[in-house]
Amino acid sequence: MDRLKLAVLGSPIAHSRSPQLQRVFADSIGLDDFSYERIETTCETLNDTVRRLVAEGYDGFNCTMPLKTDMAALADRLTHEAELLRSVNTVAVRDGRLDCATTDGGGIILTANRALGESVSGKRVLLLGAGGAARSAALSLKLAGAKLTILNRTLKSALTLNEMLDGSAVCGALTRENLCEAAADSELLVNCTAAGMTGQPEFESLDFLGNMKKGTAVIDAVYNPLETKLLRRAKELGLNAVSGLWMLVYQGALAFEWWTGILPDENACEAAFNTIAAD
């Protein structure tokens, strides 16, 4: 491969870190003829934008919210996970066809493996939330062989998510009591709620972290701020705390592989993390 012309679509898109991320990956394989631009795109303009990119010879693009579901409807081919979720964040243009994937869940799996130091298969995972990020996480964790417990403020949403998982997860309301009980039996906690995000409320209490065994892994999908109160407290208690920024890095690495067939190695991923963390 001697050229790669890419873009990221979304609204708003001006602050996307994907261009810096993908530039690191391109540099890691010595790809000089590389471009990756931000294109402001709404659901109403998505179809026209995609047609233009195909006509202008783009090799592929990423989609952010709120375009992921609409992009799935435009796909010529969907991966298994993208089809189940009806969500696409990565598109490769191949002979004019749109080959579409979601790397969201895969990014979570690689982050989980990093946090655990081993495969997530067979591990007891406590997942907080049932929204878009949690859906991707839950499906990928299930397919990877994890044993899932899902807690969400609205129990009905957790149960609806569990239907997609063929009822394989244990579900409950996200109460302090349930959280403390489930945390004690977990080997990995993944927060996919907005709690702790800049401008959003914090967890009512972080007492549940004290119930987790030392060395248990904690991943926070929130990466603004880079170190949330959840991660800070987890570190203080001797837990293995991992920033959600790693999820962004690994999602991007899997997207790069979708376009090129080359998965960036851990050195490239470390460089990408440091680049966007400093941005």
Which position among 5, 68, 123, 142 bears the catalytic label? 68
Q: Which two tokens stand for residue 77?
A: 């081919």
Alpha-carbon distance of 91 to 47, in angstroms, equals: 13
- β 90-94/97-101 pair status: antiparallel
- The answer to whether 68 is a known catalytic residue is yes
Residue tagged 């959840």 (tokens): 230
Question: Measured at the alpha carbon of residue 263, what is the angle toward residues 127 and 16, in degrees to the nearest 5?
Answer: 65
**Active site members:** 68
